[in-house]
Every structure is written in C-alpha cells, then in structure tokens.
Chain A
Amino acid sequence: MRKEGPMILTVISSLVVVFSTYFFLGQKWNLMEPLNNWFQISYAIALALGFVNLTVIHVKYIQRKREGWFYSIVLLLCMYAYLVLGMIQTQNGLQFDWIYVNAMSPLSATMFSLVAFFITSAAYRAFRIRTKEATILLVCALFVMLGRAPIGDAIWGNWSAFVSKWVMGTLNVAGMRGINLGIAVGGFATALRIMLGLERAHIGGSGTQ
C-alpha cells in the first residue's frame, strides 16, 4: 500500500484535472479550484517542513562544530529574525520590505549580471571555427549581432537589420517551433505515462512499472 496509495491518488487527481479541462457539467463539477488549493496547502506544508529541517540540520552543525558552523549561526539568525519581522509587520511592513528591496534584490541582480561574462566565454568556445557547422554558426551570429548593434547600420545600412531579422524570424523560428512541437508531445506522453501508472519515479523506486 506504500506505493499503491500515492499511485491511486495520482491517477484520481490527474483524471479530475483532465475531466475539468475538457468537459463542463456545471460549476459544481469544476474540481480544478479545490485541487489547486490543495496544491498550495501541500506546498506551504512542504515549506514549513523545510524550515524545520533546515533548523535541525544547522543546529546539529553548530553542536558538532562542523567546518563552517559559524555560517549556520548566521543562517539561523537571518531566517528566524526575518520570520519574526514578517509575522509582526506582514508582507507590507516597512522594514520587512526594506530588507528585501535593499538586500535580496541587489544580491540577485549582482548574480544575474554575471551571466553576461559567462555568455561571453561560452560564445567564444561555441564560435571557434573548427567544423563547417561552427563556421555557419559564427557567420549567422555575426549577422545577427551586427543587425542589432548601431555599427551594423553604419557599415551596411538596412541590409544588416534585414539579414538579422530573416535569420531570427525564419531560420530560428522554424527550428524553435519544431523543437516546441516535440516538447509539447513529449510532455503530453509523460503525463499519460504517469496517469496510466506506467511511470512511477515520482513515488520512488525504479522509475518504471
């Protein structure tokens, strides 16, 4: 029953979603909303569980004086201080909001800005001319870059923008749509495999029937 229970629950939930998506038998039979509420409740419980789990793990680290135990103290202090502040002030509280806007946002923006440097190094590797395909990639990338930068217009006038638009709008879109079609069908097949009980990875075990 340890595996059958979750499996039955999965099949029933997915049937409810399928039924509510494709059929309409009146508002009272629309079970999507209660199901979505259940998902939110489960998520909140999982978060609370994670909170407790994190506390237990880091208290253990501090007790055993494991390497980096000082950071565990910082983590627990920040976590509980922010929780208490949030409970007192709610999400619109002045200090609660200030901490998020002035600490979390700049930190996230700093990390995000690093993407530019990572892209540069990856692009250098990808565009090195070693094969015919890499050469085509380099030529296309050059046209697209020139078409999107003012220097392209200065060199070739409207031609660079035209070529860039054609590469992005015709070649790129055709490829992307082909991939998207496969993704849609693949996602669909995965959902059916789970619904039919053929794939059971999400409830532990070998991942298949």
Chain B
Amino acid sequence: MMWLLAQEQAPVPTLGIFSAGSVIDFAIVLGLGVIIWVMVARARTGRKIPEIKKIAGLEAVDEAIGRATEMGRPVVFIPGILSVDNPQTLAAFGMVSHIARQCARYDTRFLALNCDPLPYAVIEEITRQAYLEEGRPDAFNPDDIRFLSAEQFAFTGAVIGIFERERPAANIMIGAFYAEAMMLAETGSFQGMIQIGGTAMTAQLPFFVAACDYSLIGEEIYAASAYLSKEPVMYGTVVAQDWLKIVLALIIVVGAVLATVSPDSTVLRDILGGY
C-alpha cells in the first residue's frame, strides 16, 4: 500500500510541459508530420511527387489473385496473429481492401483467417464494403471471413487444415507473425500456392524469405496500402517516410564519425537522450 502511494505521489520529471526525454521524440513526430503535410499539399495541387521504387511483393498481389482466378481456387489472407493495437495489423487492413476488391471483381473466393476477434470484425466490415463498392454484395460470404482461435497454435493447426481441405491457389500473409510463420509458409509451399509474406517481426523475416515466392521486408508492409492505392497523396506520405529515414541515417553517420574521431564524446548522446 505504501509502495502504491509512493508511486502515485512520485513527481513526474518534466521539461516545461514536456514529459522527460520526449522533446526529441516529439520533434521527430512534428518533423515527419510537416514533411507529410508538404507532400500531401504538393500532391493536391498537382505538383510532381518523387517516384518510389517498385515493390515486387506488392506488384505480385494482382498476379497471385489472377492465378487463383484462372485455377478457380480461393485466395487466403492472414493478417498476423496480433490485435488492432499493433501497427502491422493496421498495415494489413490497408491491403485487405485491395485484395477483396480484386477478388470481387474477378469472382474469386476470398478467405480471411483471423487469430484475434478485433481484426476479424474489422476485416469482415472492410470486405463487405469492398464487395459493395465493386457492385457484388451478393458474392460476399460472411462465412469466408473466419475467426479460428485466439490460441496461437490452435490457429496454426486450423489454418493448415484449411490449406489442406480448401487448397487455395494464393496465400497472402501480412502482419505480425511469430513461430507459426514458418509452419504456415512451408505448408503453403508444399501445396504449391503462390505466396506473399510480409512482416515487421525481424526474427520471422528469414522464414518468409525462404518459403514464400515474394516477401515484404519490414517497412514495405507499411507502404502497402499507399502503394496499392496509386493515389499521389498517399504516395507522398511514403516519400515523406523515406525523407525521415535519410535524416535518421545522417544522424547515424554523424554519430559514427563522432564515435570514431572522439570515442569519449557524448555530445550526440546528450542531445538525443537528455531531452
């Protein structure tokens, strides 16, 4: 009890109105916000937006759906196993809409397999809306958007079972994956599916690279919805993202030079860590 009281009464160290150590973080947020705003403004006024490189994994999405259409077999989408509070799951939502629309357009069965009840509800709504926007509300089957289990390996077992029974032609996995990444991707590979795997879980990336036809590495999943939308405004936000990366890379170079020239120097650490 005393400990709790001490916790409640402990003064929170601040710098003005800022929480301790958050000034630099806030400056970065603000900086990215400004760059995005500049890019969005440029796109809205019709000015040129720098090109972004082609992402093979995203270019292959339509190819995968096309192949499934030709074979008359379903397309499976798995948005990882984490909930909506994870940015990777939010990135997956951006792709669902595009895939569901394409499936509705070509009358291909679309299966979304979920491990968490919240993404399940969101994906059902996104898919319903996509079918509606494509003028095919009758083709939408709510039974194809499935919540399988919130237990990691029960979910994995269920997905492997669906792979064996329904024999999809394409498997698209975008989101946060753990140990099940290898099992799902390998099973898909045994089945001869065209597979696109993307995650920001660095420990699982090698498995996707080894077992999938196309991989989206880390940040590429966050650019997916903007890339697939082909809207200049959304492209602008990806360019802003690249600019911020350049700034951070420059800071790393400065840090490396300082650490080499003067190993005892704490200038950069004091600036970045002290505020």
Chain A interface residues (CB < 8 Å from chain B): 18, 21-25, 27, 39, 42-43, 46-47, 49-50, 53-54, 57, 104, 107-108, 111-112, 114-115, 118-119, 121-123, 125-126, 176, 179-183, 185-194, 196, 198-199, 201-209
9 A-B residue pairs with Cβ-Cβ distance under 8 Å, sorted by A, are A27-B12, A115-B183, A122-B210, A182-B245, A187-B87, A187-B200, A194-B90, A199-B94, A202-B93
Q: In whole angstroms, what is the CA distance A144 to B206 when docked?
A: 15
Task: List CB contacts (< 8 Å) of B23-37 with chain A.
Answer: 25-26, 28-29, 32-33, 36
B199 CB, min distance to chain A CBs, angstroms:
10
Consensus secondary structure, chain B interface: helix
Beta-carbon contact of A201 and B29 below 8 Å? no
Question: Is the Cβ of B225 less than 8 Å from the Cβ of A199?
Answer: yes
**A-contacting 9-mer, from B49-57, B227-235, B262-270:** B227-235
Is the CB of B222 closer than 8 A to any CB of chain A? yes
Q: Hey, which chain B residues are within 8 Å of A21, CB to CB?
A: 19, 22, 25
- Distance A186 CA – B125 CA, assembled complex (angstroms): 25
The A-B contact count (CB < 8 A) is 203
CB distance from B188 to the nearest CB of A (A): 11
B interface list, Cβ under 8 A from A:
8, 12, 14, 17-19, 22, 25-26, 28-29, 32-33, 36, 40, 83-85, 87-88, 90-91, 93-98, 101, 117-118, 120-122, 125-126, 128-130, 133, 143, 147, 150-154, 156-157, 179, 182-183, 185-187, 189, 200, 202, 205-207, 209-211, 217-223, 225-226, 228-229, 231, 233-234, 237-238, 240-241, 244-245, 248-249, 252
| A207 with B98, Cβ < 8 A, contacts A115-B179, A202-B84 known | yes
Inter-subunit contact A43/B29 (CB<8 Å): no
Contacts of B90 in A (CB 8 A): 190, 194, 201-202
Q: Tell me, rounded to whole Å, the shortest Cβ–Cβ distance linking A79 to chain B.
A: 11
